[in-house]
Structure 1
Amino acid sequence: MNLFRDKQFKYFSVFILTFVLLIFLSGIGLNAVQKKAVHGLFLSHDNAVVTSFLEQGVSKDVIAKAITSTTNSQEGKALLANIGVTEHTAIRFLPFIAEFQKISESYMLLFGMLLSSLLLVGAFIFLWKREQLYLQAAKVITNFTESDFSCHMPQMNEGTIYRLFASVEQLATILQSKSEASQKAKEFLKSTISDISHQLKTPLAALTMYHEIIADEPDHVQTVMEYSQKTELALKRMDQLIQVMLKITRLDAGSIAFEKESCRISNLIAQAVSELTTRAASEGKEIIVDETPEETLLCDQQWTSEAIGNIVKNALDHTNSGGEIHISWNRSPAMLRILITDNGSGISPEDLHHVFKRFYRSKKSLDMQGIGLGLSLAKAIVEGQGGIISVQSALHEGTVFTLSFLTEP
């Protein structure tokens, strides 16, 4: 029974069994005391009778015969009745029986008080310990309801009550996880809103200024055209910012289900750089896809190509005219890696650990284009599919981004 796994209940059960044994032994002891008392009383009674007979001159043979006789007769019963000794005679009028009753009652009262006291003390200790256990558990549960999970339920013993405590502890762990997740979600939402607000503030201010300039000089066609173009660029930046933030938010919330399929790496790379080759050519840069043996990757082609495209775009942003971006891949028994290497300006050691943070811009690249979300989005996409993204770089020597994916089992 699970009940006997409880240490306190086990001790109390042993106490009850010991108490029952003590009652049994007390009964035996009381019986022995009563026998001894009866024996002594009968000897005293016989001695008194013999002494009385001797004083009256009755012969010793007659006395001995009378004392040892076991015969009952009506004459004897009638004689006892004449002197007031019958079965209806009150015990207080029978000195020897009254004395025996007094002794028996004294011993019974003594044993009863001792056993009762022992039972009460044992029961009180058991119930007090249980009360302390319940109070401790109630205090911990109260802390749980107040989102304080620093304390834990008593779990040092076995038994049904401790299984209940373990279940409550497990429930508290789940509540703590949900509370932490909820808190993180709130902080993430607060941070996201703050980031979006901060990032939209500049283009919105610019739009307001452009609108005022156009409104003030409606007859200057050149001015209107110039600031209309700037307005269009600001709107595109805002749209790009909002779209990327929505993607990152959906990825962080786990609301995007990646549709994985077997994709050829060459097709994946081609899709990723299709819109960037023109820009690279116009800036005097070159995107080189190395001649690597064809491989396949189980991934969501649309999202993965976007992640690769964002990294290539970042490489273009930090590579001077005449620079090169190399894309290659290799397979090991457990991993397939896609490497994007550039010979650009590189990343300083103090910035290397922050490149995947949202809106992070190095002090050395504040004048470069971009909104600071491309690498964050790439990281969210890769990790959302169970991959790993890492970066190695040295200032003025270039950068290598590595996308690692587990191969199919």
Structure 2
Amino acid sequence: MTSSKYVRSFKRYNLVFSVIFLLLVSGYAGTVSFLEGEHPALLELTVLFVSCMLLLGGVRNWTLRRQITSFMDSVDEMVDRAIHGREKMTHFDETSLSSLEHKLWRYIEINKANEQNLETEKNTIKELISDISHQTKTPLSSIMMYSQLLAETPELSGNTRLLLNEIESQSEKLEWLITSLVKLSRLEAGMITLQSTASPVIETITRAVSHIYTRAESKGIGIQIKCDPLTKARHDHKWTSEALFNLLENAVKYTEAGGTIRISAESNEMFTRIDVSDTGIGIQKEELRHIFKRFYRGCSARDYEGIGIGLYLTQKIISIQGGFITAASEVDKGTKLSIFLPKSKCVNTDRFQTQPG
């Protein structure tokens, strides 16, 4: 409870006390006058008694208010000193205020120690991620380079060439996995700062589509975009484009040849909504609440290549920018994933919502 709430509560209690006090005094004076008659001396004594009681109540009320105000000022000063590390105010007096100050200092000291430990762990994680990224890229690049050189050898047999192609394919998947995990780790460790600005979303959508268009065209999947060029959202162009690419990649992967992917965007007072809908295999209702978990793959998705990190990464990118993502789907009819991006600066959220189609 804040100090203002304490003051309001005190005023309510004081009002109730004053009303009860007046009723009791008035009732007492009236009863005495009624029982003893209208003797002048009795009336004077009654008036004097009532006046003294009212004066005493007023003094008591004023004193209590002063004590509470003084206590709240002391607490405010004590908290301010503790936060800024200045000299203690009570110097270990045997009072409740001294006990409160001591506990407050202990809490702040523990909190600062925890912050230092977290910062140390964060720096350790940063170094570890950088080492992993550096140490894995070199041998992986060598494997891919040697595979390409071997592929240029004309005397390779058919089976050898097939195996070599498989090595290249798996190396590319491993490179993508390592890159995705490093990106995710950097986001979670706070090593990457997203630069969110209010800008049109059509450019972000177009960039994401350009990276998936060839793959969609090879499967005969049409991509339709419905977006007003003036529709804006506060977002990081590069990272939001990557988040949309992950959604589009899944849409192409889980949509049969000849299907359709629709992308639309519209704004309201608080958010800009970007929908990515497909005509793919869909997601079972009971699995919708799990699809944004790290490495989760639904039953129907296990026949397709993937590791279950794309949607988790997308959700993380969107939530860091203060947005959220929802999912709606129906088996064999398709899936619609909706990204909500804020139109102005807002507090970051880390949530997602799912709902049946």
TM (normalized to structure 2)?
0.58
Give the aligned CA root-mean-square deviation in angstroms.
Answer: 3.8
1:401, 1:345 → 2: CA distance?
Answer: 14
**Aligned mate of 1:403, from 331, 335, 339:** 339
1:276 is paired with a residue whose SS is: helix
Instruction: Assess, with a 3 A threshold, how the Cα gap between structure 1 residues 331 and 176 changes in structure 2: closer, same or farther.
Output: same
Q: Which residue of 2 aligns with 1:62?
A: none
Identify which range, 177-186 or 331-340, moves more after superposition: 177-186
Letter aligned with residue 386 of structure 1: G
1:250, 1:183 → 2: CA distance?
Answer: 13
Q: Which residue of 2 aligns with 1:298?
A: 234
1:9-408 aligned at under 5 Å gives the runs: 158-173=96-111, 175=113, 221-292=157-228, 294-408=230-344
1:222 Cα deviation after fit: 1.1
Q: Deviations over 1:40-76 (max 9, x none)?
A: xxxxxxxxxxxxxxxxxxxxxxxxxxxxxxxxxxxxx
2:121, 2:282 → 1: CA distance?
Answer: 37
Instruction: Assess, with a 3 A threshold, how the Cα gap between structure 1 residues 253 and 160 changes in structure 2: closer, same or farther.
Output: same
Q: Which of these two proteins has the greater Rg computed from alpha carbons? A: 1
Letter aligned with residue 329 of structure 1: A
2:227, 2:276 → 1: CA distance?
Answer: 14
Q: Which residue of 1 aligns with 2:46?
A: none
Q: Deviations over 1:222-280 (max 9, x none)?
A: 12211111110011011001001100000000110112333321111110110211211
TM (normalized to structure 1)?
0.51
1:176, 1:390 → 2: CA distance?
Answer: 35
Instruction: Assess, with a 3 A threshold, how the Cα gap between structure 1 residues 287 and 178 changes in structure 2: closer, same or farther.
Output: farther
Letter aligned with residue 340 of structure 1: V
2:96 is paired with a residue whose SS is: coil
Q: Deviations over 1:350-373 (max 9, x none)?
A: 321221222222222212123322
Contact 2:200 2:229 in 1 (8 A): no
Contact 2:202 2:227 in 1 (8 A): no
Q: Deviations over 1:100-144 (max 9, x none)?
A: xxxxxxxxxxxxxxxxxxxxxxxxxxxxxxxxxxxxxxxxxxxxx
Instruction: Assess, with a 3 A threshold, how the Cα gap between structure 1 residues 347 and 177 changes in structure 2: closer, same or farther.
Output: farther
Letter aligned with residue 108 of structure 2: Q
Q: Deviations over 1:145-194 (max 9, x none)?
A: xxxxxxxxxxxx7322321222212333555677789899999x99x9xx
1:396, 1:364 → 2: CA distance?
Answer: 10
Contact 2:202 2:228 in 1 (8 A): no
Q: Which residue of 2 aligns with 1:145?
A: none
**Sequence identity, in percent?**
29
Aligned length: 240
Structure 1 gap segments, 5+ residues each = 1-156
1:353 is paired with a residue whose SS is: helix
2:211 is paired with a residue whose SS is: coil
Structure 2 gap segments, 5+ residues each = 1-94, 346-357
2:272 is paired with a residue whose SS is: strand
Instruction: Assess, with a 3 A threshold, how the Cα gap between structure 1 residues 180 and 260 changes in structure 2: closer, same or farther.
Output: closer
1:275 is paired with a residue whose SS is: helix
1:274 is paired with a residue whose SS is: helix
Instruction: Assess, with a 3 A threshold, how the Cα gap between structure 1 residues 297 and 235 changes in structure 2: closer, same or farther.
Output: same
1:346 is paired with a residue whose SS is: coil
Instruction: Assess, with a 3 A threshold, how the Cα gap between structure 1 residues 186 and 368 changes in structure 2: closer, same or farther.
Output: farther
Letter aligned with residue 402 of structure 1: S
Q: Which residue of 1 aligns with 2:41?
A: none
